[in-house]
Structure 1
Amino acid sequence: MMKSAYRCSLTFLAFLCILKVCELCQSIRGSRASKLVAEGSSLQLSCEVQHCGVTGWTGGWEFQEMGTTGFTRLTPSERIELSNYSSTANSTHLLVDIHNINQSDAGAYQCKITWPAQITSRGHVTNVNVTAVWCLTRDHPSPPPVQPRSYTSFAARVKPKKELVYAEVALNSSRRQNDCPKQVPEPTVYSSLHFS
């Protein structure tokens, strides 16, 4: 009776180990993340598929736009590149490269894998926020003049400012990088103060 219980325990432990190996072999490795990306720049996301050499799985990246429900599969386009590479015989990295990021790219990204028995696995979500582009423009009215200040304190006399320059920064309404000037024009200098 003791041998039977011992054999049953070993069988159960072996079964648990097999389940654990299968769990590790059919999984997506990654961590939750939040990324802040400037408009017009590029972004690369990666997830690692642990498949232990199993073939027949399919997968890719999914995207959920901010304010919507449900993920949609990403497909290659002029701005979106999808690729993969095998780091070992047991794992493959899935990559997505997004070029010329814009506000419509803000949202949640995750990997989704479908295994041979139609079992699915999803990776952790990466939330992407896109910051607006600010451009220097000259087609806005000049800023109001600044009233002169009296610098009588000791600190003001010890560390005087060498130069005062006014510049204007305005948000470009179309929010596209192409609308920004290629070269930023020289700022208009309204006055210059030099201390010796």
Structure 2
Amino acid sequence: MSDMCDSLFTAISCTFFLLVSAEECSQSIQARRATFYAPQGGTLSLSCVVQHCGDTWTGNWIWKNSTEEKTVENSDRHNLTNVTVSANETRLLLHFLTVSQLDEGSYRCTVTWSQGNTDLGHWMYVKAAPSGRNLLHRGLVCAGAFVCLPIILGLVRCLSSEVKPQPLPRTCSRYIGGYRDQPHLAPSPPPPLVYADISHDARRQQGATREPVQSTVYSSVRFS
């Protein structure tokens, strides 16, 4: 008798549990409103949970920015996946294979039920930020510039202090008797005094008549 009671109690409990569970399950989309910052060239995943309670449905992802709105599809940059969480829930995943500035905008998942009605999830905002490598590179460049600038300024100051302006050469001049001396020239050779004397004697003897040269007579003595 006790076994029968236990079995009946278990059956009643299970039936009540199933009825309560069926009443508590309601079709909905669970998504978190947030802003996601993804580095350019990196990866990112967005997700929302569809509570379908075993009903048939169709899920999609919508993207929009300030100028357009469209449905996200599988591509070389996006991957759409559905992961089963339980008999009543399924997770929709939107995976960005390579984030770029073209991916910036608002995203949300949509579900169309078998009855024809549609539910919308919360908007999730994606912003593409510079990659960590670019930020590190910019930081190193800035730090190097701040370190090298004082050194360069110090070298320029030292070089400018060592180079002194050369004074212009002065032209020395002497004044004798109120006249300015001409620039110093190389000494000229002495005048040909001997030549002048010879020429003078030659002019003095031009008017004199030359005496004939007396011939010389040679005599010979012969002994026999």
Per the TM superposition, whether the score is higher than 0.5 is yes
Which residue of structure 1 aligns with residue 58 of structure 2? Answer: 58
Which residue of structure 2 aligns with residue 107 of structure 1? Answer: 105
Which residue of structure 2 aligns with residue 45 of structure 1? Answer: 46
Which residue of structure 1 aligns with residue 149 of structure 2? Answer: 146
User: TM-score of the superposition, structure 2-length normalised?
Assistant: 0.49
Match of 2:63, SS state, is strand
Which residue of structure 1 aligns with residue 4 of structure 2? Answer: none
**Greater RCO, CA 8 A, separation 6+:** 1
CA distance in 2, matches of 1:37, 1:50: 28
Report the Cα offset of residue 25 of structure 1.
2.0
Regions of 4+ moved over 6 Å: none
Matches within 5 A, 1:25-174: 25-55=26-56, 57-65=57-65, 67-69=66-68, 71-133=69-131, 134=134, 136=137, 143=145, 145-147=148-150
> Which is richer in strand?
1
Which residue of structure 1 aligns with residue 182 of structure 2? Answer: none
CA distance in 2, matches of 1:130, 1:58: 29
Across the aligned residues of Structure 1 and Structure 2, the Cα RMSD in angstroms comes to 2.7
CA distance in 2, matches of 1:31, 1:103: 22
Match of 1:146, SS state, is helix
Match of 1:104, SS state, is helix
Question: What per-residue deviation string (whole Å, max 9, x for no partner) do you get for residues 84-126 of structure 1?
Answer: 0111100110001011100000110100011112211000111
CA distance in 1, matches of 2:87, 2:36: 30
Gaps of 5+ in 1: 1-17, 149-196
Q: How many residues align?
A: 123
User: TM-score of the superposition, structure 1-length normalised?
Assistant: 0.56
Percent identical across equivalent pairs?
34
Match of 2:149, SS state, is coil
Which of 1 and 2 has greater Rg? 2
CA distance in 1, matches of 2:83, 2:149: 58
CA distance in 1, matches of 2:62, 2:52: 19
